[in-house]
Structure 1
Amino acid sequence: MALTDRLLDAWYKGHPALALMRPLESLYRRVVNRKRARFLAGQSERYKAPVPVIVVGNITIGGTGKTPLILWMIDHCRARGLRVGVVSRGYGARPPSLPWRVHPQQPAEQAGDEPLLIVNRTGVPLMIDPDRSQAVRALLAQEPLDLILSDDGLQHYRLARDLELVLIDAVRGLGNRRCLPAGPLREPVERLQSVDALLYNGAATDHADGYGFQLKPSALVNLLTGERQPVNHFPPGQALHAVAGIGNPQRFFNTLEGLHWRPVPHAFADHAVFTAQALSFSPSLPVVMTEKDAVKCAPFAAPDWWYLAVEAVPSPAFVSWFDSQLNRLLP
Structure 2
Amino acid sequence: MTPSRRRRAEDCLQDIWRARGPISTLLTPLSWIYGRLSARRMARQAAHAWRAPVPVVVIGNILVGGTGKTPVTAALCHFLQARGWRPGILSRGYGSRVGPAPRLSDQAGDSAHLGDEPALLHAITGAPVAVHPRRPLAAAALLQAHPDIDVLIADDGLQHTALARDVEIIVQDARGVGNGRLLPAGPLREPPDRRLRADWLITQLGPAEALPSAVPVDTEGRPRQLSLRLQPDFLTHLASGQRQDWAAWCAAQGQTPCSAAAGIGQPQRFFAMLQQAGLTLKQTLCSPDHQAPSLDALRALPPGPILITAKDAIKYPPPHDPRIWTVHAAPVFSDPAWLDALETRLRTR
Q: What TM-score do the two structures reach when normalised by structure 1?
A: 0.91
Asked if residue 229 in structure 1 is aligned to residue 229 in structure 2, the reply is no
- Identity among equivalent positions (%) equals 38
Query: Mean Cα displacement is larger for which, 211-220 or 125-134?
Result: 211-220
Query: Structure 2: which amino acid aligns with 1:327?
Result: R
Cα distance change of structure 1 residues 14 and 250 upon mapping to structure 2, 3 Å threshold = farther
Maintained 8 Å contact 1:56/1:150: yes
- Structure 1 residue 164: deviation in Å? 0.7
- Structure 1 residue 104: deviation in Å? 9.0
Which residue of the other structure, out of 297, 317, 321, is the alignment partner of 2:316? 297
- Structure 1 residue 218: deviation in Å? 0.3
Query: Structure 1: which amino acid aligns with 2:286?
Result: A
Which residue of the other structure, out of 149, 153, 171, is the alignment partner of 1:149? 153
What do residues 79-134 of structure 1 show as CA deviations (whole Å, max 9, x unaligned)?
Answer: 11111100100101135762011259744222211111111112111111111110
Which residue of the other structure, out of 315, 329, 341, is the alignment partner of 1:310? 329
Maintained 8 Å contact 1:219/1:230: yes
- Structure 1 residue 327: deviation in Å? 2.6
Paired residues for 1:1-331 under 5 Å: 2-12=8-18, 15-40=21-46, 42=47, 45-95=48-98, 98-103=101-106, 106-143=109-146, 144-169=148-173, 171-202=174-205, 209=215, 210-232=225-247, 233-234=249-250, 235=253, 238-263=256-281, 264-314=283-333, 315-329=335-349
2:68 and 2:197 mapped to 1: Cα distance?
21
1:148 and 1:207 mapped to 2: Cα distance?
31
Query: Structure 1: which amino acid aligns with 2:65?
Result: G
- Structure 1 residue 221: deviation in Å? 1.1
1:300 and 1:29 mapped to 2: Cα distance?
46
- Structure 1 residue 206: deviation in Å? 12
- The alignment covers a number of residue pairs equal to 325
What do residues 299-318 of structure 1 show as CA deviations (whole Å, max 9, x unaligned)?
Answer: 34211101110112332342
Query: Structure 2: which amino acid aligns with 1:178?
Result: R
Return 5+ residue gaps in structure 1 as ranges. none
2:237 and 2:103 mapped to 1: Cα distance?
29
Q: What TM-score do the two structures reach when normalised by structure 2?
A: 0.87
Query: Structure 2: which amino acid aligns with 1:18?
Result: S
The alignment partner of 1:137 has SS state of helix
- Structure 1 residue 230: deviation in Å? 2.3
What do residues 247-281 of structure 1 show as CA deviations (whole Å, max 9, x unaligned)?
Answer: 11111011111112122211100110553223222
Maintained 8 Å contact 1:105/1:120: no
1:261 and 1:72 mapped to 2: Cα distance?
25
Cα distance change of structure 1 residues 60 and 96 upon mapping to structure 2, 3 Å threshold = closer
2:107 and 2:305 mapped to 1: Cα distance?
26
Maintained 8 Å contact 1:220/1:307: yes
2:212 and 2:259 mapped to 1: Cα distance?
34
Query: Structure 1: which amino acid aligns with 2:347?
Result: N
The alignment partner of 2:299 has SS state of coil
The alignment partner of 1:257 has SS state of helix
1:282 and 1:182 mapped to 2: Cα distance?
37
2:285 and 2:255 mapped to 1: Cα distance?
18
Maintained 8 Å contact 1:221/1:227: yes
Return 5+ residue gaps in structure 2 as ranges. 216-224
**Partner residue in 1 for 2:221:** none
Maintained 8 Å contact 2:63/2:187: yes
Cα distance change of structure 1 residues 31 and 48 upon mapping to structure 2, 3 Å threshold = same
1:324 and 1:88 mapped to 2: Cα distance?
24
1:285 and 1:82 mapped to 2: Cα distance?
43
1:269 and 1:300 mapped to 2: Cα distance?
23
Query: Mean Cα displacement is larger for which, 66-75 or 201-210?
Result: 201-210
